Amino acid sequence: MFTHGIRLEVAQDVLGALLAHWSEAAAQALDAANPDPARLAEIEAEQRKLRNLRADLDPRDAAQIESVIAEHAPLARRLYAAA
């Protein structure tokens, strides 16, 4: 059960890292001389998707947790590799 709890935290952290990325993207888009409403809508949609995914994580569903990590961790690694 301990390992399962750690994997849940990993999934939550991965989603949090992606949310942080999209928050930064939104801030940059809003700081532009002429913010692009379509780009802002895309960013907001990604944020909403990730927030919903994080909120819907079931601590008892190991398959769901592993799926979130498998799907989203590679992007989080790429985004923060250079940071």
**pLDDT given for residue 63 in this prediction:** 96
Q: What is the DSSP string of 32-77?
A: SSS--HHHHHHHHHHHHHHHHHHHH--TT-HHHHHHHHHHHHHHHH
Q: What are phi and psi of 68, to 5 degrees?
A: -60, -45
pLDDT digits (tens, 9 = 90+) for 4-62: 789 999 999 999 999 999 999 999 999 999 999 999 999 999 999 999 999 999 999 99
Of 44, 45, 57, 43, whose CA–CA distance to 13 is shortest?
A: 57
pLDDT band per the 50, 70, 90 thresholds, residue 81? confident
**pLDDT given for residue 83 in this prediction:** 62
Place of tokens 């919903």: 52
